[in-house]
A = this chain, B = another copy of it.
Amino acid sequence: MFVASTLFVMSTSPSAADPADPGAAAVPPPPWRKAARPSSRRPLSTGAVVEAALRIMAEEGLAGVTMRRVAQALDTGPASLYAHVRDKQDLHELMLDEVFADAPVPVPDPGRWREQLREHTVAQVRVLLDNPGSAEIAMRTMIPTTPRLMAQMDAQIGILRAGGMTPEEAGAAGDLLALYGTAFAFEQELHGGPGQASGAEDAARRIGEITGYLRSLPEGVFPHLAALVGGMAPGRGDPMRHFEYGLDAIIAGIERAAGRESGT
């Protein structure tokens, strides 16, 4: 019964607009084989949509995550997704939340707050870098509304409070660290190349061009820049080293700013 009616709809759907249709439709599709396919489990929950979207992002980058592409992966049409996801933006935020699914949520330890802050921030950035595309979402979201991201933020502020900061100081410092971490990860995935995009190649070409241009210029036009490009290689070293340079600078600055006001 179920199968039959389904098949009926499928085979006649083009002519469904024409109720008075005899058997004249081009080849009455004998679909014995087909029967199994449409009834083969279609849960199609929010979770399934997010999961499919994440898989696509991992393989084809964030730009590959289109509603049509996700729908196709779940073999259905794009309209079906909107029952489980409000927007594309909403889908993005759910993806970001899922990405942080197994990131640890540290409990603040006053005696170790500096190390904890460093480790926590590094861990967050590592999550973003491990999931290319997620940093772009994070950049565009900034105010977290999903539970896991709120837990991360809460932990971070907890650590800063454990370091003796006032709520205001902790808020400002947390903003700064989150902004830096997110922006850094985004920049990395921009010209680090998420596997598929021309990122790395493009970046290399660009700094090649810029080097050539600088050399072609009369000496002393951009002297400091010219001095720099000499000792520069495109993708040298662990990006994390670079990140930690900035992180340490920021933490030191934060501490100093807090100490200046609270006297410690």
- A interface vs B, CB < 8 Å? 139-140, 142-143, 145, 150-151, 153-155, 157-158, 161, 167-168, 170-172, 175-176, 179-180, 182-184, 186-187, 190-191, 203, 206-207, 209-210, 213, 222-225, 227-228, 231-232, 242, 245-246, 248-254, 256-257
Q: Which B residues are in CB contact (< 8 Å) with A158? A: 223-224
Q: Which of A153, A207, A252 has the most CB of B within 10 A?
A: A252
Known: A206-B143, A223-B158. A248 touches B257 (CB 8 A): yes
Q: Which B residues are in CB contact (< 8 Å) with A245? A: 172, 176, 257
Instruction: Report the Cα distance A176→B232, complex, angstroms.
Output: 16
Measured CB to CB, the nearest residue on chain B to A213 is B145
Tell me whether A154 and B253 are in contact (CB under 8 A).
no
Copies of this chain per assembly: 2
Q: Can you give 20 contacting A-B residue pairs, CB < 8 Å?
A: A139-B139, A142-B187, A142-B191, A145-B213, A150-B225, A151-B222, A153-B225, A154-B223, A154-B225, A157-B224, A167-B228, A170-B224, A171-B232, A172-B242, A179-B246, A180-B180, A245-B257, A248-B253, A248-B257, A253-B253
**Nearest CB on B from A125, distance (A):** 13
Measured CB to CB, the nearest residue on chain B to A108 is B224
Q: Which B residues are in CB contact (< 8 Å) with A142? A: 187, 190-191
Q: Which B residues are in CB contact (< 8 Å) with A151? A: 222
Q: Which B residues are in CB contact (< 8 Å) with A213? A: 145
Known: A139-B139, A256-B249, A257-B245. A168 touches B231 (CB 8 A): yes
**Nearest CB on B from A128, distance (A):** 14
Q: Which B residues are in CB contact (< 8 Å) with A171? A: 228, 232
**Nearest CB on B from A164, distance (A):** 14
Q: Which B residues are in CB contact (< 8 Å) with A175? A: 242, 246
**Nearest CB on B from A103, distance (A):** 16
Known: A209-B145, A249-B254, A254-B249. A227 touches B167 (CB 8 A): yes
Q: Which 6 A-B pairs have the closest CB atoms?
A: A249-B253, A183-B183, A253-B253, A157-B224, A154-B222, A252-B253
Since A150-B225, A171-B232 are in contact, a sample of 6 more A-B pairs with Cβ atoms closer than 8 Å, ordered by chain A residue number, is: A139-B139, A143-B203, A150-B210, A155-B224, A167-B231, A171-B228
